[in-house]
Chain A
Amino acid sequence: MSESQSHDEKNHNGVPAPREDAGIIGVRKGMFGADNGGDTSGYGGLVRTVTLPGATFRPYGGWFDEVADELEGALEEQDLLPGNAIEKTVVDRGELTFHIAREHLVQVARTLRDDPALRFELCTGVSGVHFLGDKGRELHAVYHLRSLTHGRLIRLEVSVPDSDPHIPSLVEVYPTNDWHEREAYDFFGLVFDGHPALTRIMMPDDWQGFPQRKDYPLGGIAVEYKGAQIPAPDQRRSYS
C-alpha cells in the first residue's frame, strides 16, 4: 500500500523523475562538438543524441539471472515488491547494473550482503556522476559490490535530482563507505542521510561549491608566455 503511494508521489517536485525517457542524456550538434566559435566544416546541421544503455529484459545471461532471481526472491520475503526497489536492470558490456530507488537502497544493500546466495561482502565505495542532461535525476551515485564467496561483481546505481540530492547512507551496512561517501559529498554535494560525520574530506573545510560537478568550472588559469596566451583547458575550443 505505502509502496504504491510512494510511486505516485514521484511526479512531485524534488523526487526522481519517472524512468520513461531515461537513457537520453544530451544532444550533440555539428561535426566537432565545438560550441564556442563558428563551425566552418559544413557539418553544423548534424544532430546526434547521447543515449546511455537502456533497460535489459530477461534472460540476462550467465549468473546474472541467478543473482537477479535471488535478490528478487529475498526482497519478496521481506515484503518488498522487487519492482518498487529495482527501477531498472541494465546489462551492458558484461556488467550487471541494478538501478535502485533511493528509499530502498539500504534494505537492498543489506540483503545483497547477508543473503547466503548473494554474499556481496565487499563494497568498493561510491562514485558520483553528474549528468546535467538527465533532467530530474542529474546526480547518480554508483556503488560496486564484490562477492568474494562467489567471485561476482555487480553495480548499484541510485539517481537523484539536483534539487534534492539526498541518498540514505550505506555506512551501517558497509563501514568502508565512510570516506567514500564523504568524498562523494565533497565533490558532488550528494547528501548521505545517516552518515556519522558527513564533512568535507579532500577540499578545505571552508571551500565553496562542489568541484567535480559538471557545472563547476575546472578553475584553471590562462597561461601566458611571451605575449601569447593559452586559455585553461576548459576554455579552449575543443572537440567533445
Chain B
Amino acid sequence: MPVVMDADRISRALVRIAHEVVERNRGVENLAIIGVRSRGVPLARRIAAALKSISGDDVPVGALDITLYRDDLMRQTVGPQPLVRRTEIPFSLDDRVIVLVDDVLFTGRTTRAALDALVDFGRPRAIQLVVLVDRGHRELPIKADYVGKNIPTSRRESVHVRLSETDGTDEVSVESEA
C-alpha cells in the first residue's frame, strides 16, 4: 500500500493551492469555497483557513452533496439508494467566484454532478476546481484549475484519501485492486 502523500505533503499542497487561488483571483474578495461531500469538505475548510492566514479575510465555506445529481443514480434496476447528506451553502452564489473542492479527480463524473448542482443554487461568475489528487482517466471534458498532486494510475488501482477529520490520519495511498 504505497503512500504517495503524507500529512506534510498534503499540508504543503493545500497551502500552495491557497496561494495560487489568491494569485489568480487577485485576492479573496467575492470568493467562496464549496467542498464536495464527503472529503472535499474538510479540504475546503483547510483551504479557507490557509486563505485567511494569507489574506486575513474570512472566506465562506459550504458543503455540497452531489448524490441526487449522480448520473448512475437510477441506472441500477434494484438496490439500496446511496445515502443523501445535507447540502449546506449558507450564502448566495450569484456573481461569486466559487472554488469547488474535491479530493480525487478521476472520471470527472462527480465534478459534472457538482457543476449541475451549483447551477441550481444561483449563477456564479466563475467556478474553479481544486483537487488534492488528479489520477487521470477522464471520461468527461473536465480539467482541474488547481491540483495538489498528479498521480498516474492504472484503472485497476484505487486512490484512497484519508483525512484526520474523517479518518484520523492524513495520507493518500494507491492500492491495486486484488
Asked if A and B bind, the verdict is no
Could you tell me which B residues sit within 8 Å of A by CB distance?
A: none
Q: Which A residues fall within an 8 A CB radius of B?
A: none
